[in-house]
Amino acid sequence: MTDPVRQLLDDILGGYRLTAKEGVLLMSVRDRRVWDIASVADTVRERMTGNQVTYVRNQNINVTNICVNSCGFCGFSKKPGDAGTFLFGTEEIREKAVLARKRKVTEICTVSGLHPDFDASSYTGIIQTLHDEAPDIHIHASNPMEISYGARNSGITTGEMLVEMKGAGLGSLCGTAAEILVDEVREVICAGKIRTSEWERIIREAHLLGIPTTATIMYGHCETVQDRLRHLEILRNIQDDTHGFTEFVPLSFVHMNTRLFREGTARPGATGREDLMMVAVARLFLDNIRHIQVSWVKTGVKMAQLGLLAGADDIGGTMFEESISKGAGASNTDYLDPSSMKILADDLGRELRQRTTLYAFV
Ligand code: SF4
């Protein structure tokens, strides 16, 4: 009898679209067939994007770590009055933009804590300041949680806030705050965050307004494999309708300094097999999202390189000044030089190429 996993892999190569249940089957494989799954995902990757490994030269700016929320997986946020809080003013944001120009980045990425005093104009103001100082740099900013929070505090709709942000210079929206798009899981890991339906609504609004977004998942804490596939199915359905996702970025849970881990609610992160299967099954399942990015910040560069052999085609950003994963306990997250990325790509016999946020070659 033909092994169902091998049969599925053959079918996928013939153009078959996986169901969520079949995705669960693949992601649950624990034996040597993980290499078969990775290999087919790598073939699909080659068909979709060719043989290069891409990266973006970007700089991260977190404007504040003060946050009204208390997500259990977050080691970054602090409460007002805590030691180690920061909040950049307009002048400091401007200086960061000047630095970004000097570093010749093509993208500034900015997300922050939900500061108690922030409203829509705070977020728009950050983008306007960055855009005024560095008009040629793509601004990849905020996420559906920040849009919901800013809009609510200003008494406007999320659609109105997105329009304002686009007018101020927003190039694309971060698809973070997705975590796991299953409300029962969100209730445990981030009860203060927007629900799945609101995340989806805001992402669809952005796409309809011509604002592309990334798509993410944060896995390896207390979700099930079924939850992961429910999440991927939501993303695939959105993309079928809007075509607004530029890429999918699996974010492996960094557990060390998080409440979820300390309380024993979460596991100590995903295993290497899980990291590999997350990339591979995402490549096979998300047949309508062109790019899969590995996050060297979350998994380390060696695991990220293996992801590039399991369906991923992009190694993400240079990331000057990363502080969110660092807060959760990850190390060496500040900066990855393109020369180090080139070593990883060369080692796989692939060409490293710089790209823009929207995947044009630089
Ligand atoms: S994940 Fe974001 S919203 Fe949640 S506590 Fe951290 S900074 Fe705040």
**Which tokens hold the place of 64?**
């504040």
DSSP 45: H
- Report the pLDDT averaged over residues 202-215: 98
Instruction: Report helix angle 158-168 to 144-154, nearest 10.
Output: 110
Token pair 């990334």 in the structure block, residue: 214
Residue 351: the pLDDT is 98
Q: Is the dihedral of CA 281, 357, 251, 21 positive or negative?
A: negative
- Residue 331 binned pLDDT confidence (cut-offs 50, 70, 90): low
- What is the reported pTM? 0.96
- In the chain, the amino acid numbered 186 is R
311 with 42: CB under 8 angstroms?
A: yes
- Report the pLDDT averaged over residues 150-169: 98
Q: What is the pLDDT of residues 242-287, one digit of tens each?
A: 999 999 999 999 999 999 999 999 999 999 999 999 999 999 999 9
Ligand 1 shell residues, CB under 6 Å: 67, 69-71, 74, 76-77, 113-114, 145, 190
Residue 322: the pLDDT is 65
Decide: residue 104, CB within 10 A, 0-12 exposed, 13-18 middle, 19+ buried.
exposed
Q: What is the pLDDT of residues 2-15, one digit of tens each?
A: 899 999 999 999 99
- Is a pLDDT exceeding 80 seen at residue 134? yes
Q: How many CB atoms lie within 10 A of CB 14?
A: 7
316 backbone φψ class: left, alpha, beta (φ>0; ψ -120 to 50)? left
Q: What is the pLDDT of residues 82-127, one digit of tens each?
A: 999 999 999 999 999 999 999 999 999 999 999 999 999 999 999 9
- Is a pLDDT exceeding 90 seen at residue 333? no
Distance, in Å, from the CA atom of 81 to the CA atom of 260, rounded to the nearest integer, reads 23
- Return the H-helix or E-strand segment holding 336: none
Q: Which of 110, 142, 145 to mutate to test the pocket of ligand 1 (most atoms within 8 A of CB)?
A: 145
174 with 324: CB under 8 angstroms?
A: no
**Which tokens hold the place of 278?**
């997350």
- Is a pLDDT exceeding 70 seen at residue 332? no
Q: How far does the centroid of ligand 1 lie from the alpha carbon of residue 71, in Å? A: 6
Could you identify the atom of ligand 1 that is nearest to the CA of residue 73? 1
Domain 4-355 has CATH 1.10.3720.10: no
Could you identify the atom of ligand 1 that is nearest to the CA of residue 145? 3
Q: Which of 63, 64, 65, 71 to mutate to test the pocket of ligand 1 (most atoms within 8 A of CB)?
A: 71
Secondary structure, 3-state, 274-306: HHHHHHHHHHHHCCCCCCEECCHHHHCHHHHHH
**Ligand 1 atom 3 nearest Cα:** 69
Q: How many CB atoms lie within 10 A of CB 267?
A: 16
Residue 361: the pLDDT is 97
